[in-house]
Chains A and B, each alone.
Chain A
Amino acid sequence: MRYSGLICCLLLLFCAPVSAEPQQSVLFVYTTMDEGGELLYATLTHFYDEVEAVSLQDIQPYQLAEATQLIVYGTERADTAKLNHYKGKLLVIGKVAQRMTQFQQWTFGEDVVVRQIGDDILTQATTLTKINVQNGVLLAAQSLDEQLPVIIKQDDLALMSFNTLDDTALYYVSKYLGTILELELAPMHDAFILLRDIHPQTDPVLLAELGHYLLDRGIPVYLNVTPTYLDLVNEQSAVLQDAPPLLATLQSLAERGAFLVAGGYTNYFALETEAAGYEFWDVANDAAPYVDEQKEALYVQDKLIRSIHAFANVALTPVAFAAPQYRMSENGYKVSTYHYDLHIGQLQGRAPLFITKPRLLYGKTLFPDTLGLYDPDDYTFKQRFQQLRMVQGATISASYSVYSGLAPLQKLVALYDTLPNKTWLSLADWPISVQTAEVTITNESGTLTLQNNISLLDKARQLLQERPVEFMLWVIMIVTTIFVCLFSIYIVNMRLRYRKRLFEERDEW
């Protein structure tokens, strides 16, 4: 009896499942990984810890076999024969659905212009494909004379019928994705305000006023700082060391918990006034700074390293990176991930609506600027704000220029106060890692620590490159000091030997 009981237990142990919950295996298949595809993939990383991405061309049968959730993206019709046998949960975004056998019961018509989706009147009309379905319509659009299903879910099959994943489409995709994927979403919105246009010429009094205003209200402060300022008109440059009051303000805000977000190094690629802020983008040609990718990578790396070192040399600790004007090439973003784990802002001027790990950032985290630059006179800003609060779990974040002063910031904060279900984002809760070969900034020990191993020689080299005049003055100072000491020794030596000298010279001439 005792042995049979023991055997039963052993059998149960071996037969019982290892985990009580089913494993999610999410597969993202795309026809073309365009801008929309990148944003969609990034959005998915908000909902899932792991998302495998593969092109329709390269997909293998075993990948389909393992996927519990398949998401297919394509703005054009394509040969989807490889996907025809997939029987699991399927979500398709775009026209690529029209040739998939899973949708063969649905009827797809011509494209129609619509000006309203759900209850929202669009600021810009868009084009959607007519779909004839009987049930499962979660969202419909309104053309002149008829309603068009836009988002449809029927059991394990779902379609988001957007012909292009522009900002409007992205909004609705983000809004309904949780419902379609049957995920439990966080009820709160992450929120933050990024203070920008901070550089050595910024008014420290104004910055202190804005920063302490936010901190006094318990709002974490994010300071987007560029360590060097170039005045193209007067042909002058200034670094943080040239602005002791500003440095003191930054340090005092940091001591109160403000987060420093590094921008570029000088804020310029091309030294033209029109190119202000575009340090990693050739705005004149709307292209990467260099055609040669290796040259671009070296350029970006050099600037990022100088930026980090510039902060480290004044004991400031950036915790994240925001590409200037949110413009960088894919190559440039890749280089930035070598140095920063956390990124803030947008990718090529657009951002997912959630905190994500975009493909362009190679698994690093992006905290999106979803509202953009705050302008109190821009009604669309408030409109976007209201829209975002309808997307469960969306990050509601804005950037604010310090040049605007305190009054508009107060209005912005008042707008945020109308949002009850928000959490002010604190990067202290996230693993921070900023690094170069000589500098490391982490919060592994619980507090933000800076390890600065920049050698004196490197500092001298940097000074020579950035401020050759000051370097020369330092050289003069050091050389002169050495000689003054040497001459002093000679004088003392001569004085001590004075009597002996008198004695020796007595018999000479």
Chain B
Amino acid sequence: MVNLLFYSSLFLIWLMLLYHMFLAQGGYLHFKRYLQVVPQWEKNMAGNVPSVCIFIPAHNEGVVIAQTLKAMVRLHYPKDRLQVILICDNCSDNTKEIGERFASQYPFVRVIETEDPYKGRGKSTALNYALHNSSSDIIAVYDADNTPEKMAVYNLVMGLVNDDKAGAMVGKFRVINAKKTWLTRFINIETICFQWMAQAGRWYWFGVATIPGTNFAIRRHIIEELGGWDESAMAEDTELSVRVYDLGYHIRFFPAAITWEQEPETLKVWWKQRTRWARGNQYVVLKFLRRWFDLKQKRIMFDIFYFFFTYFLFFFGVIVSNVIFVVNLFVDLQLTVGNIALVLWALAFLLFMTEVMITLSIEKDQLTFKNIVYVFFMYFTYSQMWIVLVIYSLILEIKRVIKKEEHTWYKTERFPTEGGK
């Protein structure tokens, strides 16, 4: 029985590792090729610039919003075709005042305040409020702590103009406070890895990407057709991604559109944020897994199954194998797998190192000795923390479902930042 459990967990883990290996290869190839379309895209964009509304949902973002708006006003996009809407949602600090100060200087900047029944009900509701109080061809969304690069919005829109089948364009996000703490260093590596492996790899091989919640642009008619954002979803970005695909469009990953965002600097904030993400993704997985036969675009089910596999099977496999490993230190479980297990463990580690290092080498000045050391320790620390977090979030989600509770929106705490890259 123990051997069966061990082999099962081994295969679950390696199925995931092999898939990510495959993704890493795709991500690398996407990096080599994604800019090849740009010359032609730029030609098509000339004289064909659609109108864009940038939504910035904000709840007490006084610490960071000024910097964000500064970046917005510096965007390289025709200002007569651009509107930046700061959505103040139940703010009790000076977010609104800061926004109004910018609005007074820049006519394309607008501040709106959510009203009942939209008020204080989270990001999705705030976005829906802005949706009903604006008009444009395209909507771009940025979190309140984001500072997009000058060409970010232009590149997102250029992608939508040139790719008719794209319902949304997703850019790349970088960590602005990467060097602040050991945690932000880990998160920085994680985000780089996620985007160049998961996003780029999935897009390259399967034409699939998911909206990360910020630095994306979507066609207005699509979001209107979908009825806006799901206000009950904790991971509204993932949930929206599935519905966009179900409508018959794809979501394109275009890493030329870059934004810089702030990441949690303390474990407590990190834990809360990631618990929300994990619970949100679990919610989405279970919501759409039941609708396998209903969904029009089956390739997005592949992605849903990927999330299901990650959150429910892969982590289960890791937990089981860790438990067996620890127990075997004290009690001889007579595992038959032999030394090949050790070799596989070593290979898994090497694979992890090389995959992450490829993604670091794609980003300028990220493949440093210090980062490599961090990657080494990340395997034994940060990666293992995720296991505990997933179990915790699963327990919370099960409790919520049993008790039929509503989701409670947790707003990520912000930290003062010096800004820029």
List the interface of chain A (C-beta within 8 A of B).
236, 242, 469-470, 472-474, 476-477, 479-481, 483-484, 486-488, 490-491, 494-495, 498, 501-502, 505, 508-509
Question: Do A476 and B28 touch (CB < 8 A)?
Answer: no
B394 at the interface (CB under 8 A from A): no
Enumerate chain B residues within 8 angstroms of A491, measured Cβ to Cβ: 354, 357-358, 361, 367
* Complexed CA–CA distance, A242 and B21 (Å): 31
B5 at the interface (CB under 8 A from A): no
- CB-nearest residue of chain B relative to A493? B361
Question: Do A483 and B21 touch (CB < 8 A)?
Answer: yes
Enumerate chain A residues within 8 angstroms of B347, measured Cβ to Cβ: 477, 480-481, 484
Enumerate chain B residues within 8 angstroms of A242, measured Cβ to Cβ: 336, 338
Of residues 109 through 142 on chain B, the ones whose CB sits less than 8 Å from some CB of chain A are none
**What range describes how many residues of B lie at the interface?**
20 to 34
* Complexed CA–CA distance, A4 and B332 (Å): 99
Of residues 314 through 353 on chain B, the ones whose CB sits less than 8 Å from some CB of chain A are 336-338, 340, 343-344, 347-348, 350-351
Cβ distance B325 to chain A, nearest Cβ, rounded Å: 17
List the interface of chain B (C-beta within 8 A of A).
3, 7, 10-11, 14, 17-18, 21, 24-25, 28, 35, 149, 151, 256, 336-338, 340, 343-344, 347-348, 350-351, 354-355, 357-358, 361-362, 364, 367
* Complexed CA–CA distance, A494 and B367 (Å): 10
- CB-nearest residue of chain B relative to A505? B364
Contacts A477-B343, A487-B24: A494 and B361 contacting too (C-beta < 8 A)?
yes
Cβ distance B198 to chain A, nearest Cβ, rounded Å: 16
* Complexed CA–CA distance, A470 and B355 (Å): 25
Enumerate chain B residues within 8 angstroms of A481, measured Cβ to Cβ: 347
- CB-nearest residue of chain B relative to A236? B336
* Complexed CA–CA distance, A481 and B354 (Å): 11
* Complexed CA–CA distance, A474 and B338 (Å): 12
Question: Do B354 and A477 touch (CB < 8 A)?
Answer: no
* Complexed CA–CA distance, A236 and B18 (Å): 28
- CB-nearest residue of chain B relative to A508? B35
Contacts A236-B336, A509-B151: A490 and B350 contacting too (C-beta < 8 A)?
no
Enumerate chain B residues within 8 angstroms of A505, measured Cβ to Cβ: 364
Query: Could you pull out 28 A-B pairs where Cβ atoms are within 8 angstroms?
Result: A236-B336, A242-B336, A472-B11, A473-B340, A477-B343, A477-B347, A479-B21, A480-B18, A480-B21, A480-B351, A483-B21, A483-B25, A484-B347, A484-B351, A487-B28, A487-B354, A487-B355, A487-B358, A488-B354, A490-B361, A491-B354, A491-B358, A491-B361, A501-B364, A505-B364, A508-B35, A509-B149, A509-B256
* Complexed CA–CA distance, A199 and B344 (Å): 29
Question: Do A479 and B358 touch (CB < 8 A)?
Answer: no
Given contacts A487-B28, A502-B364, 12 further A-B contacts (CB under 8 A): A472-B11, A473-B10, A477-B347, A480-B17, A480-B347, A483-B351, A487-B355, A487-B357, A490-B361, A494-B358, A494-B361, A495-B367
- CB-nearest residue of chain A relative to B361? A494
Cβ distance A235 to chain B, nearest Cβ, rounded Å: 10
* Complexed CA–CA distance, A176 and B347 (Å): 72
Cβ distance B321 to chain A, nearest Cβ, rounded Å: 14
* Complexed CA–CA distance, A494 and B24 (Å): 15
- CB-nearest residue of chain A relative to B21? A483
Name, among A480, A486, A498, the residue most crowded by chain B CB atoms within 10 Å (CB to CB).
A480
* Complexed CA–CA distance, A144 and B149 (Å): 119
Cβ distance A495 to chain B, nearest Cβ, rounded Å: 6
* Complexed CA–CA distance, A428 and B173 (Å): 76
Question: Do A470 and B361 touch (CB < 8 A)?
Answer: no
Question: Do B361 and A479 touch (CB < 8 A)?
Answer: no
- CB-nearest residue of chain A relative to B364? A502
Cβ distance B36 to chain A, nearest Cβ, rounded Å: 13
- CB-nearest residue of chain B relative to A485? B354
Cβ distance B269 to chain A, nearest Cβ, rounded Å: 32
* Complexed CA–CA distance, A486 and B24 (Å): 11
Enumerate chain A residues within 8 angstroms of B21, measured Cβ to Cβ: 479-480, 483
Cβ distance A158 to chain B, nearest Cβ, rounded Å: 63
Cβ distance B19 to chain A, nearest Cβ, rounded Å: 12
